[in-house]
Structure formats: structure tokens, C-alpha cells
Amino acid sequence: MIRRTCVVGAGSIGSLYAAHLARVAESCVLTRREDHAFALNEHGLRVTGRHDFLARVLAAARAGDLPEPDLVIVATKATGLESAAAALAGRFPTATVMTVQNGLGAEEIVRSHGSWPLVSGVTFMSGTKHSDAHVEYILDTETWIGPYGDTPFECVEEIAALLVAAGLQAEALPDLRPAQWSKLIFNATVNSVAALTGLPHDRHFAAEDGESDLGRLVHALVDEGKRVAAAAGVELYDDPWEMNVLATKRGSAHYPSMLEDVEARRPTEVDLITGALVREADKHQIPAPLHTAMYRLVKAKEASYT
């Protein structure tokens, strides 16, 4: 029975989880900054957009200041995962820990800091943080979760049911890898192309008529990613090319986080996304020259900040 939850990292995704969970559980938030925790305790957490409510949460910047949770959702960006997981080391021994980072490898990073039962997640929902205590719920799409290692499936089903009761879209899958890999290939392709071209995820990503049209590169990157998935023995849940085409047909173009990161000259999540795909390709001895090129270019763009 999950009575108390703790979301680690209150960016837009973490804030959406924490606020909604407050409707069905005691919702705690572990923040990086003291003033962020103070703002949440002082004002609560306001959700607008798809849903509209004010949630009461208990926030702190130190894990030791929070009561023992039954479920921890680590919702930092991939770039903040290592330090967030290190902050949990030695704490919350009875909790189950769920990751929702983009890419691959988040579970291993958390595992290296403790022996909690782990649950893998991928989420397609999106939001915009307007302040430390206000998040706008933009896309009310699903979170898919599955067991990692020997975590029992019933545990995953309980978390999915809790998220659904909290008003979010969620589904428990016995094997998350097909969904995780579909999103990995989608993100590795769309995020890196957006970061290098400055284009939001718009119609250019599906255009293939002209010889230099961007959709041709997107398609080639997706095909290369699918060959890596096949070599890794993963059958994809959704076709990443179809996910791409569908996403470009939504009304307003999405700004992938990697594009926001390079525009703000911040480190990107490329190591856990494109980097993870390239490492899988190496491991299974499948050539991935295009994703390798994209990885090198994004890393070089990060180097150009200084």
C-alpha cells in the first residue's frame, strides 16, 4: 500500500507527478535548492492547463528532512541524475524507486547508490514550469512503467493504479523495453536534430520530397536505431518514424528539451540518449555512423559554450 510518495527533482515532469500524487497520497518533494523547497511549503504547488488545482506538498532540500516514503519517483533530468541518486544513498530502505529519465541507463545509475526495488518508466507527458510553485500541464499523454530486475509486476501495477487514481495517464507493462526503446530511438533522433538545426519538432521532420529535406535524415536515423534495437533483441512497441510523423501533425510544434538546453547553453541529456544508443550499437557490433555523427556534433556544440 503506497501511502507516502517522494518525487526527487521538481522540474516540470516532477512537479506534475508531485502535485497529482498529493490527491491520493502524502506527497513529498526533494528539491535541489532550499528556496525551491521553501516556496513549495509556503505556497503549495499550482497546476494549470489540462488540470487546474492547488496541491499541498511537503518539500525539503535534504532527504533526511523528509519522512520515509513508500514510493520514490526520480524525475530529475538525466544530467542531474547522478547527484540526485547519490543524495538518496543509505536512505528510504523500504521504498520502491522509479526512474522516468529519457534515454537508457538511469536504472543502473540509481542501482549503483542503493538496493531498492526499481521500476522503469518512460513518460510522454509534458509541462511548462512557470515558477517554482506553478506548473502548466501541456500534454496529458501516458507514463508507461515496467519492472526492472526482479521487481514483481504487482508492484508496478500498484504504482500505475495510483497514478491513474491521481488523474494521470499510466499503464503497467510486463516488459518496458519495447516502449523504452521506441522512445529512445525517437528522442535520439528528434532531440539531436532539433538541437543542431534550431528547429522545433515541426513539419520539416517529416518532409522527404527534396533530396536535402530533413525528413530523409530523420528517417535514416530512425532506421539505423531500429537496426540497433533488432541487434539488441528488442521488438519495438511503436514505430519511431510513425511517432515522429504523428507528433509533427499536432497543432503547435514541441520544443525538445535538448533544443532548449543548447539555446540556454546548458549541458544536454545526449549522453543518456544518443550516447546510450551508440553504446548499444557498439555492444552488439552494429554500425551506427549517423547517430555517432549526431552524438559528436552535439557534444561539440556543448563544448562551444566556453
Partner 1 sequence: MRVCVVGCGAVGSLFAANLAGLDDVEVWAYDLAHEHVEAINEHGLRLSGAGEVLGRLRATSDPAELPSCDFGIVATKAMHTESAIRATAGAFRDGCVATVQNGVGNEDVIAAHVERVIRGTTFPAGKLVAPGHVQWDVKGDTTLGPFEPRPAPFEEVERLADACTRAGMPTYAVHDARGPQWRKVIFNAATNPVGALTGLTHGRVCERPDLRQLVTGLVDEGKAAAAAQGIELDADPEELIDHAAKPEVAYDHKSSMLQDVEARRRTEVDYLNGGIVRFGREHGVPTPLNAAIWSLVKGLEESWAI
Interacting residue ranges for partner 1, rule: CB under 8 A: 193, 196-200, 202, 204, 211-214, 216-217, 220, 289-290, 292-294, 296-297, 299-301, 303-304
In the complex, minimum distance from the CB of residue 139 to partner 1, in angstroms, rounded to a whole number: 20
In the complex, minimum distance from the CB of residue 286 to partner 1, in angstroms, rounded to a whole number: 15
Q: Identify the CA nearest to 158 among candidates 96, 248, 213.
A: 96
How many C-beta atoms surround the C-beta of residue 115 within 10 A? Answer: 9
State which residue, 243 or 294, has the beta carbon closest to partner 1: 294
Non-local CB neighbours of 248 within 8 Å, separated by 6+ positions: 201, 202, 203, 205, 206
State which residue, 167 or 200, has the beta carbon closest to partner 1: 200
Question: Alpha helices of the chain — where are they, by DSSP H?
Answer: 12-21, 34-43, 81-88, 106-111, 153-165, 177-197, 214-231, 240-248, 257-263, 274-283, 289-303
How far apart CA 144 and CA 123 sit, in angstroms, is 6
In the complex, minimum distance from the CB of residue 297 to partner 1, in angstroms, rounded to a whole number: 6
Angle at 9 between CA 7 and CA 11, to 5 degrees: 110
In the complex, minimum distance from the CB of residue 203 to partner 1, in angstroms, rounded to a whole number: 10
State which residue, 183 or 219, has the beta carbon closest to partner 1: 219
How far apart CA 36 and CA 55 sit, in angstroms, is 15
State which residue, 129 or 204, has the beta carbon closest to partner 1: 204
Buried b (16+ CB within 10 A) or exposed e, 264-291: eeeebbbbbbbbbbbbbbeeeeeebebb
How far apart CA 129 and CA 134 sit, in angstroms, is 6
In the complex, minimum distance from the CB of residue 103 to partner 1, in angstroms, rounded to a whole number: 19
CA 259 to chain CA centroid, Å, is 15
In the complex, minimum distance from the CB of residue 106 to partner 1, in angstroms, rounded to a whole number: 24
What are the CA-CA distances from residue 225 to residues 7, 190, 234, 275 (Å)?
31, 12, 11, 12
In the complex, minimum distance from the CB of residue 288 to partner 1, in angstroms, rounded to a whole number: 11
State which residue, 246 or 300, has the beta carbon closest to partner 1: 300
